[in-house]
Structure 1
Amino acid sequence: MTRDLPVLVVDGSRSGDLDGFAREFSRLLSGYVWRGNLDALNDVLRGGYGTPDGGWVLRWTGSETSRTTLGHPETARRLERLLPDVDPSNRAAFTARLDAARRGEGPTLFDEIVAIIREHGPGGRESADGVLLELA
């Protein structure tokens, strides 16, 4: 028997970059503002930051628009902002990732966000959180 889960809808067509997407996603949260940090997104999806208890559906409308706006250029921009704080022991790998994004290669922010969300759903390492992603 399938449970009826609450559905939270984020509209990817209303954001032009990661900051805009973070604002849109934050509209879903009760009493918490997500500012685009991917580690913090993982925490939000675990619960306790204004998401429903007991599982929920994240319906991402305008996801194809998000695929574009959170593509390689935005990925490179985010990595450039993070670069000054990268530990020297990780700088070479980080720079290689930045260079790849600048060339239009490798995973994008969209890919990373989708992967994080899917980790909290069926088959993911944190599937107990019960987050079901619907790309629309």
Structure 2
Amino acid sequence: MTVTYVIEGSEVTGLERFWQVIGEAVNGPSGYFGRNLDAFADCLSRGMGTPDDGDFVIDWRNHALSARALGHEETARRLRQQIGRAHPTNRPALQRALDEAPAGRGPTLFDRLVQIVEERTTPGTLRLN
């Protein structure tokens, strides 16, 4: 039986709120399902609350609202946080991304989250409504 996890896009107001919304959708109140992109990918791959057989759907309702909240502005904010604590060899790539984000160019956090779900789950798992 397929389990459906609902993300209400209007509740996603930034990346920190996304972690709360996805955690609660999968694992209930105060649930955890990652607090960074790597942990999110791991949770999708390791059944951290999802069925062991991988038979689940993420129904991201009003996803356009989340796409705006996790757009270039939020992406730039996150990159600014990361760059200071990044390994020196990673800083040039982060800086290039940071140079692009405020101008509305390059992938957004929303794009990256969608990409992670698509890479780590079976086709059709993510439903953008």
Is 1:133 aligned to 2:121, yes or no? no
Q: Distance in 2 between matches of 1:19 and 1:111?
A: 16
Among 27, 36, 50, the residue aligned to 2:24: 27
Report the equivalent of 1:103: 103
TM-score (norm 1): 0.85
Separation in structure 2 between the aligned mates of residue 106 and residue 61 of structure 1, nearest angstrom: 24
Q: Distance in 1 between matches of 2:35 and 2:99?
A: 21
Unaligned residue ranges in structure 2 (runs of 5+): none
The answer on whether the counterparts of 1:15 and 1:24 sit within 8 Å (CA) in structure 2 is yes
**TM-score normalised to structure 2 length:** 0.89
Distance in 2 of aligned mates of 1:81 and 1:118: 26
Measured in 1, the distance between the counterparts of 2:128 and 2:78 equals: 23
The answer to whether 1:116 aligns with 2:116 is yes
RMSD: 1.7
Q: Work out the CA distance in 1 between the residues paired with 2:102 and 2:74.
A: 9
How far does residue 111 in structure 1 lie from its aligned partner after superposition? 0.2
The 10-residue stretch of structure 1 (43-52 or 94-103) with the greater mean CA deviation from structure 2? 43-52
Once the 2 structures are TM-superposed, how far is the Cα of residue 121 of structure 1 from its aligned partner? Answer: 2.9
Offset of residue 120 of structure 1 = 2.0
Counterpart contact for 1:19–1:35, Cα < 8 Å: no
Deviations 1:47-81 (A, max 9, x none): 33112221211111110101100000000001111
* Mapped contact 2:34–2:43 kept (Cα < 8 A): no
Q: Percent same amino acid among aligned pairs?
A: 39
